[in-house]
Structure 1
């Protein structure tokens, strides 16, 4: 047995030993992020629910929608002129906050033309709530346990509890006529959390506990029975499963499809075995190469003076106390970045603009309101102090934090 073979065997044994040791000592942690992603096997993904939909709606198509409702329904219309041809059940589980006014209007049109819309989230876009004359409120749960009950006596056996639930959402104001209560929270009929709302020729189902559809709850005890009960209200028709945010937005979890190698790299033992193989192979090549690489001189990279220039200019404005000029440049740059990042028109900074910016940026409306209101106030002033400059800078930093 030559020296090369012996070296390779030693490297292989070392890698296996280290990988097994790392895997044995690794403290596995559970990611409880609520991503509601149909491809995620994490506790609060919905891959189990998604895979069971074809069994619950036999002989019906399951279409996963990776576009906003406005774009999808417009593309799937008669010659693209906006007349809907999509028909069936539209399901949206969690993350409904991405819907803007145009998306909500398209969903309402879809439901109004004899179709069914089912949305489960902790709250819903304001446009939808205003249209249906609803208000959502929250109550704190005792012992982080939430009880979910059906109002229909035939479904009482499917009632369920879920844990790890700090609060329960409910409809605190219901002004629409002919609505039907389908369920409530914590054995309290006043805490309505599941509604059926007739809308023109179709129906809208609004549900306020999306966690019941996640992997953890469906696979725990018999909580899946509640999910079956909730879906039993839907007609046997094509299912449109909304996956827009889960596919394009990384904050909601692992949405993009991954390669087979990425799965291995998520396993600590395989990951370190892979890295060690690469490192030791490189070391083997370096120490056994017959040709030697000559010394490569170090070339100092060109110094980037852009940052220094910006600091110099900003210090010049600051030290000369030209607060007005510096403030004008700060909010001009801020508005330009909003136009660039969120494709919003900043000509009129009104309440509608604040709402859209809050939805697209994911920031709390209060934070956006405070920043934009202060900028509008600055536009009415001619004299500025250092305190005003610092306050503007603080608001902008809060927005981007």
Structure 2
């Protein structure tokens, strides 16, 4: 043991010295990826704009949408199971190519019902192009400074500079009679990059320079005025900010969230602190691996710990925010009890099942239908929140108590 300790100390000193030397030599690089993520403080994240939204719409509710807009708007409709009826303005900044056709249909229906849809991106889904009969083209910026100039109509601000711009997207074809031109971009000549489309009872705003909303441009000089001007066209109402399109999805469309540890590992100091802690932990286990006298345990009589076990498992799932597991288990337990108590097949939860269950239990058909429809809705979701679990529990408790 005495021989090993000096070696361990030398090893730790070498590791810490190496970490310091690497930290001194390594230069920090700026990540210019255009993520348009509302949680990102990088140059082309939109965290500043996102934090300012409640101030811009201070008398209204600002909600962040973490689901595909199709499922979210469908759930929060008059006939849906959401907590409210969605009304106001739906804002999408960048990455709109992740939208599927169902989501585009729901967004168009949302606008048609008297609401506003605002999309700022370099190009749009083909379905939007076909529906609104528009074309988008690209002009290369051949200037050395890579600067384009953005301007707005009906808003009293000077033209705004967008630098680090390899080129501009612009509307090469649109209905010039019924659509309103709201803004232009200029490299060699002026071209339309912001239009307003009257759509049913509502409005659609399409903008082709999402970098205007990024942290880099909002913080530089007075460019934030251009961003405020863009948002000023939206009505004074509730706001829905799209976050789903900023999350990478896998082949099957399931959300893949970054590990909470990933940000720390990106920071040099935190990374080496983490590695040093792991190394010390390994050394501690090595030095304490020698044989020791076993502790003689007091053998207690067996106790019935079923209830405690159930509480422990449920608390474990709840503390880890594993709402999906809890919801799946509550639904499974509820259906098993239905099969056991009432001898009803629960393979298919359709209208026939609702009628049979209501008849056998003596419950009101409408109450049973609300519970079964909510279960079917939960089964179609990929991501769950605490509110979903609480609402399911209330439905099940109401079923047994009424």
* Global fold match (TM > 0.5): yes
- 1:155 paired residue number: 156
Unmatched 5+ stretches in structure 2: 293-402
CA distance in 1, matches of 2:103, 2:67: 10
Give the superposition deviation at 1:248: 4.3
In 1, the alpha carbon distance for the partners of 2:280 and 2:266 equals 21
1:191 aligns to what SS in structure 2?
A: strand
CA apart distance, 1:36: 1.0
1:234 matched to 2:243:
no
Give 2:337's aligned residue. none
- Measure how far apart 1:161 and its partner are: 0.9
Pairs within 5 Å for 1:1-400: 17-80=17-80, 85-141=85-141, 142-143=143-144, 144-152=146-154, 154-157=155-158, 159-175=159-175, 177-186=177-186, 190-249=190-249, 256=257, 258-259=259-260, 261-283=261-283, 285-286=285-286, 289-291=289-291
Partner Cα separation in structure 1 for residue 281 and residue 11 of structure 2: 9
Cα offset, 1:68, TM superposition: 1.7
TM-score (norm 2): 0.63
TM-score scaled by length of structure 1 = 0.64
**Per-residue deviation, 1:117:** 0.7
How many angstroms apart in 2 are the aligned matches of 1:263 and 1:36?
Answer: 17
In the alignment, the residues of structure 1 paired with residue 41 and residue 20 of structure 2 have an alpha-carbon distance, to the nearest angstrom, of: 24
Inter-partner Cα distance in structure 2 for 1:255 and 1:226 = 34
2:49, 2:214 within 8 Å by CA — same for their partners in 1?
yes
> Secondary structure of the residue that 1:155 maps to in structure 2?
coil
Deviations 1:146-168 (A, max 9, x none): 2111123x4233x2111111010
Measured in 2, the distance between the counterparts of 1:226 and 1:156 equals: 7
CA contact 1:40–1:255 (8 Å) conserved in 2: no
Q: Are 1:15 and 1:273, in contact at CA under 8 Å, matched by a contact in 2?
A: no
Larger relative contact order (C-alpha < 8 A, sep ≥ 6)?
1
Contact 1:133 / 1:176 at 8 angstroms: preserved in 2?
no
Flag the 1:79–1:139 CA change in 2: closer, same or farther, 3 A: same
Quote how far apart the aligned CAs of 1:273 are.
2.9
What is the Cα deviation at residue 274 of structure 1?
2.0
The total of aligned residue pairs comes to: 285
Shift of 1:28: 1.1
Task: Kindly indicate whether the alpha-carbon contact (under 8 Å) linking 1:139 and 1:169 is maintained by their aligned counterparts in 2.
Answer: yes
Report if aligned partners of 2:65, 2:240 keep a CA contact under 8 Å in 1: yes
Closer, same or farther: CA 19–214 of 1 in aligned 2, 3 Å? same
* Change beyond 3 A, Cα 1:213–1:62: same
Q: 1:6 & 1:220 partners in 2: Cα distance?
A: 55
In the alignment, the residues of structure 1 paired with residue 87 and residue 104 of structure 2 have an alpha-carbon distance, to the nearest angstrom, of 16
The two structures, once aligned, show a CA RMSD in angstroms of 3.1
In structure 2, the CA distance between the partners of 1:281 and 1:78, relative to structure 1 (3 Å rule), is closer
Higher helix share: 1
